Structure 1
């Protein structure tokens, strides 16, 4: 039986590197999304996270380390 796959695609924005499931980046749109990304960070507390400060992350979420 042929049909569309219901598997969700995980995409990352090439600009802000935030990871989304089946939806475009609300800030940068669909044209900047890529499914070629590697590694990820989960940031919960941006104010007390040294990693968030180093990476320039200002809001909680999942972020790709590298996006192509």
Structure 2
């Protein structure tokens, strides 16, 4: 999907360098995907200790072997 964005050249160049990408589109896509992964991880860590799990360690281990 084509989208027009106004992003400062220096920012794009930095992102291209970080991801070793010549393509601006590919560099921005990689950066956005990584940002979403980081965000999902933070949201998941916020749930730590807030969800009650009613499984014994044995039941958890049994589920891993399936």
Class of the TM-score when normalised by the shorter of the 2 chains: under 0.3
TM, length-normalised to structure 1: 0.19
TM, length-normalised to structure 2: 0.19
Bigger Rg, which one = 2
Structure number with higher strand proportion: 1
